[in-house]
Amino acid sequence: MNSAVLLLVPGVGYVVASGWYLVRLGRGTTGPSRMLSAIVYASVAIHVALLALRMAGAPAAAFSGVLESAVLVSLVMVVACLIAARYWRGDAPAALVLLVAGAGLIVVSRLLPENQAAAPDVLRSAWLWVHVPLTLAAFILYALAGSGAAMYLLVGSFLKSPPSMKVLRNLPTLDSLERFSHRMAEIGFPLLTAGLFTGMVWAHAVWGHSLSGTPKQMTAVATWLVYAGYFHARFAQGMRGRRCAWILVVGCVVALVGYVLGAMGVDAHSFV
């Protein structure tokens, strides 16, 4: 059995943990669960081992397409979620992140080839290990910021039409979600700025121009502009609450579009 098929194991583990979190949410259960934590951390350990196995022969190939990079991105999302959990109360955000990561791994495990394809020549550069990690880290942080903002909107709607008190007790507070979303955006913005700058330097070295107008490059610039607008609205205009949350959700969608465009092969920037 190859490492791609084995990705089903952490994928199913994350989905099971997500379902368990949702059951706890519905019952209003609070406090840690040793069995639930064991499932999550065991899935993370297996995920790390399988990623290392796939990268052992050709590390650059892990960034050569959206399917390959999804193995890394889903892992970083889960780890970032576990670290960031101290910013919120309740299990709902963790359930959402684990569900996305688990479902993604299950799909990827069915589509990934057993052997990695050779990395494109353009990836055989030292800039790969500067530009790509910065950009992926920024996009993952913005995915978390967008998830927190979406949860803020959802919890806000629950508070207008309250569900059972058991559910309300285990929901994250609006304040914790707003602080979490803002913190993720705050950390991600300089990373994305550095990622764009190093990408332009790399592109100039390879293609002779910094910005060629490719769809992926333009969505990266659009993502930067959305978050620049968010910080302007928050600090210059004092905007808070739902309007800021909607900006973060829009930014997350734009970033996701840019990430997916890397796998479409429509231009020279057809890698992640």
Decide: helix, strand or coil at residue 229.
Answer: helix
pLDDT tens readout for residues 30-70: 656 788 888 889 999 998 888 888 777 666 666 666 677 77
DSSP states of 60-120: GGGGSSHHHHHHHHHHHHHHHHHHHGGGSSSSHHHHHHHHHHHHHHHHHHHHS-SSPPPPP
Point out the least confidently predicted range of 64-78, 137-151, 199-213: 199-213
- Report the alpha-carbon distance of residue 106 to residue 68 in Å, rounded: 13
pLDDT tens readout for residues 192-245: 899 888 888 877 776 666 676 677 778 888 888 999 999 988 887 778 888 888
DSSP secondary structure letter of residue 267 = S
**Domain boundaries along the sequence of the chain:** 1-119, 122-272
For the segment 16-20, the average pLDDT, to the nearest whole number, is: 87
